Amino acid sequence: MEMLVAIAVFMSIMVIAAGSIVNIINQNKKAQKVKSVIDNVTFALDSISREVRMGTEYRCSVNEGVDFLDECDGSGGIYGKYFEYKNQSGASYVQYRFVSAPENVGDGNIQQRTCTSPHPNCSGTWQSITAPTSTVNITNMTFYVLGTGTEDLPAGSKEQPRVIITAEGLVVDKDGTETKFSLQTTVSQRVRQSYY
């Protein structure tokens, strides 16, 4: 009788322990998936930052069909969904945009194109720079461009042009659960701005 009780207690403990181990393994897989997705988006933002840092002539636009502005500081609802700058060589312009529902590449992603002339004469082809996957959805991305409108600064001010990039999204697991993430980076123009 004692043997049967001991075996029953032992089996109960083993079932609980096995369930806990399976749960830990599933949570670890989920965490690895989230980390992989966030690493993908972080890599894209880092790539943008490295290139933008060496560029000049930062500009942004609320919409593709709208003229690009020197400043998108968020005031008055003016913040960029499109961003443009002249690359380090000065031979071409690079544009970035956030697309919430691109065709054939999954949900929300970041795209880039290179042109020989600035907006509105840019005719390059947009290419996704975030890996297309059905498990990640970038829900929002914003470019804030500050410090480029130097003519409005008081005499003696030396604000260096910079871009603040924010990205938000979610990772969808197989069981339908969603994990939200939010990333932000600030890029200052390395080429010193000239003032008069």
pLDDT mean values, one per 10 residues, the chain (196 residues): 86 87 86 80 87 88 75 73 87 86 58 85 83 70 79 54 87 78 88 54
Q: Residue with structure tokens 């502005």? A: 69
Distance CA 58, CA 163 (A): 8
Q: Residue with structure tokens 């709208």? A: 66
- Which structure tokens are listed for 108? 């929300």
Q: Which residues of 162-179 are buried (b: 16+ CB within 10 A; e: fewer)?
A: bbbbbbbbbbbeeeeeee
What pLDDT score does 65 carry? Answer: 66
